[in-house]
């Protein structure tokens, strides 16, 4: 034993050139954990070391599996609020909860190791990103969301909600209301919503048919902001919670109201799908197969198309593309990859992004704006024309030209469409917008908020207050 730790001695055996680093770490921090040491060494150094190894590479990767990925994943999963909330609502005991964390961490580790081995075999320059904590965290988030959805689907289909506590909140709604999870977890992709809007004439006729399930179709109309009924406005999508309030869907608890809304949405979408398959088979095929790389999320690009991390980064950085050939010309993918990706449904269709209605995430991911500029644009809109951003010194002429080239447009919006930043508004502003004095005071004292789920957690507000917050405010940069 050189360091007094079997874990660190294993690292030292595989990477003898790190001997001094290992000894210094063991002495200075009085630590014995290889996970702590490897986290200090950093993802890039670990990846370069793995690349330099020959026959010992598999041993090194196995060591990373046990002493890097596994401890990091268990820590992240134990701290994941969605998973903790879901398991606690299911009355899962502490020991069983720990067991579920271990089980999930093993599954995710296997996937990460497979991805790492692929990067090493191809000697990708940016392969180290698989080792970054941010990459691991995103994998944790995706795995938890998938786990919750699988479990709740099983409960709904098998148990039919019989064994659920009527007072508990449906975890699916807590996930869906958190804006940090968009656009990956929308019910339909933006491209599919666009195609759905093209069916207005057909859906209008469905709503007018004798004996039509109007309630289910109205939920579809509200969720996707289609403007087909008096309850919705074209282009303004609603959350499940907002739809329940708008349509006055009744049930004993909010969770059950949202569950009923989900049932109606599923029924409505099923009717829409049948209409598409019967009357518009061409659109049905495109809806099933096409994935537009200009607006797809990172998760869709990686999982549905199978793009590497490097290809995903280059794709998002280079958006938008006028055709799939342009991805080759601009070095996003190689020509050899095109047939495979096309067979998986990859398309490249240019999509305008309205500065007056686009989400902050769309401005960042599709148009390529820095986060600060995207938040400021959302805060200061509406704009009568795109040039107004230059006049207000929000963007330079060159920046506007670049973003316009990538699809940014400014469609006129009424002057009263402007919303306030919840993280900056004064208590007087809050009260003037319909927030009662108690909730306004709580907001001012507890902000800044990063997500709407945090706001809801602190307030526990009534439906009327929550509706006013979502309609009249947005979450921008924190003060100072």
What pTM, to 2 d.p., does this model score? 0.36
Confidence (pLDDT) at 159: 43
Rounded mean pLDDT, 393-401:
90
Q: Based on the domain organization, do 196 and 280 belong to the same domain? A: yes
Q: Which residue has the higher pLDDT, 57 or 449?
A: 57
pLDDT of residue 180: 36
pLDDT tops 70 at residue 441: yes
Question: Does 61 lie in the same domain as 46?
Answer: yes
Q: What would the pLDDT profile of 88-136 be if each residue is shown by its tens digit?
A: 777 777 777 788 888 888 888 888 888 888 888 888 877 888 888 888 8
pLDDT at 87: 79
Is the domain of 134 the same as that of 151? yes
What percentage of the chain exceeds 70 in pLDDT?
A: 76
How many CB atoms sit inside 10 A of residue 346's CB?
Answer: 25
pLDDT digits (tens, 9 = 90+) for 403-412: 888 888 887 5
Band of residue 328 on the pLDDT scale cut at 50, 70, 90: very high
Q: Is there a single domain that holds both residue 325 and residue 372?
A: no
Quote the pLDDT of residue 332.
92
Regarding whether 244 and 225 lie in a shared domain, the answer is: yes
Q: Whole domain around residue 207: which residue ranges?
A: 190-289
pLDDT tens digits, one per residue of 216-237: 888 888 887 777 888 887 767 7
Q: What is the mean pLDDT of the chain?
A: 76
Residue 335: partners with Cβ closer than 8 Å, 6 or more residues away: 328
Of the three residues 311, 328, 347, the one that is the final residue of a domain is: 347
With a pLDDT cut of 90, the percent of the chain lying above it is 2
pLDDT at site 186: 35
Please count the CA atoms within 13 angstroms of the CA of 23 that sit on its side-chain side.
Answer: 6
Under 8 Å between Cβ of 305 and 340: no
pLDDT for 333 equals 92
Residue after which a domain boundary falls, among 135, 156, 177: 156
pLDDT at residue 432 is higher than 50: yes
323 DSSP assignment: S
> Considering the domain boundaries, does residue 161 fall inside one?
no
Q: What is the pLDDT of residue 183?
A: 35
For residue 72, the model assigns a pLDDT of 87
Instruction: Let me know if residue 150 belongs to a domain.
Output: yes
- The reply to whether 316 and 358 lie within a common domain is no
Torsion angle, CA of 401/300/115/69, rounded to 10 degrees? Answer: 90
Q: Check whether residue 425 and residue 403 sit in a common domain.
A: no
Same domain flag for 370 and 396: yes
CA distance 418 to 410: 14
Q: pLDDT value at position 195?
A: 53
Euclidean distance between CA atoms 347 and 341, whole angstroms: 9
458: CATH: 1.10.150
Residue 14 lies in a domain: no
Query: What distance in Å separates the CA atoms of residue 468 and residue 434, rounded to the nearest whole number?
Result: 7
Q: Which of 371, 388, 417 is the last residue of a domain?
A: 417
In a domain, 182, yes or no: no
d(CA 114, CA 98): 25
One domain for residues 60 and 149: yes
Please tell me which of 175-179, 263-267, 273-277, 325-329 the model is most confident about, judged by mean pLDDT.
325-329
In a domain, 12, yes or no: no
What would the DSSP string read from start to end of 122-183? Answer: HT-TTGGGGGSHHHHHHHHHHHHHHHHHHHHHHIIIIITTTTS-TTSPPHHHHHHT-GGGTT
Region 344-364: what's the mean pLDDT?
81
Does residue 29 form part of some domain? no
Q: Are 364 and 469 part of one and the same domain?
A: no
pLDDT value at residue 375? 85
CA dist., res. 17 & res. 281, Å (int): 63
Whole-angstrom distance, CA of residue 81 vs CA of residue 87: 10
Q: What is the CA 235 to chain-centroid distance, rounded? A: 20
Taking every pair of Cα atoms in the chain, the longest distance, rounded to a whole number of angstroms, is 83
CA 113 to chain centre: 23
Out of 173-187, 242-256, 262-276, 289-303, pick the least confident.
173-187
Task: Decide: 155 and 164 in contact? Cβ < 8 Å.
Answer: yes
Question: Tens of pLDDT along 139-194?
Answer: 888 888 878 777 766 555 544 444 444 454 444 444 433 333 333 333 344 444 45
| Count of domains for the chain | 5
Please say if the pLDDT value at position 277 is more than 70.
no
Provide the 10 A C-beta neighbour count for residue 458.
15
**Considering the domain boundaries, does residue 375 fall inside one?**
yes
408 and 431 in a single domain? The answer is no
- The pairing of beta strand 420-421 with beta strand 473-474: parallel
Co-location of 140 and 59 in the same domain: yes
For the purposes of burial, counting CB atoms within 10 Å of the CB of 270, is it exposed (0-12), middle (13-18) or buried (19 or more)?
A: exposed
Is 391 within the bounds of a domain?
A: yes
Closest to 354 (Cα-Cα) out of 427, 307, 408: 408
pLDDT of residue 289: 53
Confidence of residue 300 (pLDDT cuts 50, 70, 90): confident
CA dihedral 247→250→254→258, nearest 10 degrees, is -60
The string of DSSP letters for 225-281 reads T---STT--TT----HHHHHHHHT---SSHHHHHHHHHHHHHHHHHHHHHHHHHH-H
User: Does residue 429 surpass a pLDDT of 70?
Assistant: yes
């Amino acid at each position: 034993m050189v360091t007094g730790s079997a874990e660190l001695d294993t690292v030292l055996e595989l990477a003898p050139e790190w001997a001094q680093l290992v000894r210094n770490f063991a002495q200075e921090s009085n630590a014995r954990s290889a996970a702590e040491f490897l986290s200090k060494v950093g993802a890039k150094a670990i990846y370069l070391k793995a690349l330099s190894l020959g026959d010992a590479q598999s041993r090194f990767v196995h060591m990373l599996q046990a002493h890097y990925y596994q401890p990091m994943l268990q820590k992240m999963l134990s701290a994941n609020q969605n998973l903790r909330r879901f398991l606690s609502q299911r009355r899962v005991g502490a020991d069983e909860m720990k067991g579920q964390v271990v089980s999930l961490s093993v599954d995710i580790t296997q996937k990460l190791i497979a991805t790492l081995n692929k990067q090493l075999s191809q000697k990708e320059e940016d392969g180290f990103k698989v080792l970054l904590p941010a990459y691991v965290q995103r994998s944790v988030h995706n795995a938890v969301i998938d786990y919750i959805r699988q479990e709740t689907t099983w409960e709904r289909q098998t148990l039919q909600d019989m064994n659920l506590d009527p007072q508990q909140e449906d975890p699916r709604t807590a996930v869906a209301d958190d804006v940090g999870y968009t656009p990956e977890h929308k019910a339909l992709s933006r491209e599919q919503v666009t195609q759905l809007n093209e069916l207005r004439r057909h859906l209008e006729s469905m709503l007018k048919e004798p004996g039509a399930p109007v309630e289910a179709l109205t939920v579809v109309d509200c969720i996707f902001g289609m403007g087909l009924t008096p309850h919705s406005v074209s282009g303004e999508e609603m959350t499940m919670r907002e739809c329940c309030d708008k349509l006055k869907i009744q049930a004993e608890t909010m969770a059950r109201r949202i569950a009923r809304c989900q049932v109606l949405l599923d029924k409505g979408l099923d009717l829409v799908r049948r209409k598409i398959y019967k009357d518009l088979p061409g659109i049905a095929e495109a809806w099933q197969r096409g994935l537009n790389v200009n607006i797809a999320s990172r998760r869709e690009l990686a999982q549905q198309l199978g793009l590497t991390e490097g290809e995903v980064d280059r794709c998002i950085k280079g958006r938008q593309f006028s055709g799939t050939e342009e991805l080759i010309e601009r070095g996003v993918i190689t020509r050899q990859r095109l047939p495979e990706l096309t067979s998986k449904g990859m398309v490249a269709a240019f999509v305008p992004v309205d500065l007056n209605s686009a989400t902050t995430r769309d401005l960042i991911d599709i148009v390529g704006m820095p986060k600060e500029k995207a938040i400021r644009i959302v805060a200061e809109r509406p704009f009568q024309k795109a040039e107004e951003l230059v006049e207000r010194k929000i963007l330079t002429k060159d920046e506007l030209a670049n973003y316009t080239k990538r699809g940014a447009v400014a469609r006129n919006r009424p002057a009263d469409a402007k919303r306030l930043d919840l993280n900056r508004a004064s208590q007087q502003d809050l009260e003037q917008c319909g927030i009662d004095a108690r909730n306004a005071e709580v907001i001012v004292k507890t902000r800044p908020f990063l997500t709407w789920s945090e706001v809801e957690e602190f307030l526990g507000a009534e439906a009327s207050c929550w509706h006013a917050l979502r309609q009249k405010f947005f979450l921008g940069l924190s003060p100072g």
